[in-house]
Structure 1
Amino acid sequence: MDSKYLVSLLKQVKNGQIEPDEAMHELRHLPFEDLGYARIDTHRCARTGVPEVIYCEGKSIPQIQGIINRMSEHHSNILATRATWEVFEAIEKIGLECQYHEQARIMVANPRPVEQVGNIAVVSAGTSDIPVAEEAAVTAETLGNHVNRIYDVGVAGIHRLLNVCDDLFEANVSVVVAGMEGALASVVGGLVSCPVIGVPTSVGYGASFGGVAALLSMLNSCASGVSVVNIDNGFGAGYQASLINKIAVNKAPPE
């Protein structure tokens, strides 16, 4: 239940189009709706501007169907992360329109066009890091941000990164996705004046410890302005980048 819906409902009461009791009936699910297996935060969009995001891993198909079906009554562009083809097909079976981004493992239910503003650079060290980078990119795009993808520019061939510096300089925020030793976040942080969000990935051989090596490297970055999200958390980075980008856009002087 987003803020536009609430404002519309209050206006209808004011204009006598609906009775207060009927409005109360509509509002009965605030601030959450209990489905038994999930308590849907129907008020979240009014508070944060973004509907609740569904993390699919660990949930059964019927649970995901029930949550998305109920949320779609009030929201568009519902993000479902770590979604499989099975989840996508199950949502289609209940008659809901949805889009599936296979590399990102993200499904967008009840999709609607959204204006994309600003500039977020999503940078990956290697091709193996692209799935996590795509999770960040698709998240940011769904939330209404322009995303510039800059992939496979890791430090083993740093001339590839230096060749796209102009793209980096134009971004309001950079999301840097890297596994192995995770050095790319520090390098980008030393080049740009915008915030850098490091995303360590679990890509790498044994001593990378499933992304812990990259995580510690990014946390210990000597470059200023680098913050770090959890291992493989492309969604978290994309969401945070959206918040930063929107602030930058709103504070930009008119052209």
Structure 2
Amino acid sequence: MSQDPKQDRPDELDGTEQPFVSHLIELRDRLIRSLIAVGIVFGVLFFWPSPSGLYDMLAAPLVAHLPQGSTMIATNVISPFIVPLKITMMTAFLIALPYVLYQVWAFVAPGLYSHEKKLVLPLVVSSTLLFLLGVAFCYFFVFGQVFSFIQSFAPKSITAAPDIEAYLSFVLTMFLAFGLTFEVPIVVVVLVRMGVVSIEKLRSFRSYFIVLAFIIAAIVTPPDVISQLALAIPMCLLYEAGLWAAQFFAKHTRAPDAEEDLAAK
């Protein structure tokens, strides 16, 4: 009687099991390391370029398009102190994010099979880079176009003096919108790899996604054509990139059992 060769294959994770308490201790240690990394970066940024310097950098795209002599204002007593600190903390977290994600990866990697590591690690790295790319695209390109459009429609009788807290809220919303938009390829890859939907179905959904992209852009961006196109067009291009990446990952991250089944067919 022949024996199933799959049963003879040793489990990659044999001998890697740890007590639950050990997992908690390791999780605590990695969280502490992540917090220390963020704290160190925060300390460096606090002294250079300083919280006020960081806010000036963040406000530069808006200030450049304000009428001459106009400045931003603070309607809350503690806003000049709290808002720059929030920006410093946000910047510190973004700078330390690669190290934080490394700690996450080091914690979960021992519990993953080799074919799962081939999928998870590239997704963690690429999702981080894509999010930061979306934030950079919003800051260096979209903000300038949006603020220029808004000021071109402002009546001459109105003196623009934006509130710093309102501006911070607007900036965070835009950063989040563009950062998440640039995650479209990751979503496509995960959906295909989990078997939720096939690549062929996503290709047939392409025309509907284009309409959906422009609807989302009209909702989350200010009411100007340039910023809406700046969000919708990258979404469509990244959707196509996600289809290509999903095909690549589906081929190179199969489990050994799945590869044998395909070879037997």
Name whichever structure is richer in helix by fraction.
Answer: 2
Higher relative contact order, chain-length normalized (CA < 8 Å, sep 6+): 2
If the length of structure 1 is used for normalisation, what is the TM-score?
0.25
Name whichever structure is richer in strand by fraction.
Answer: 1
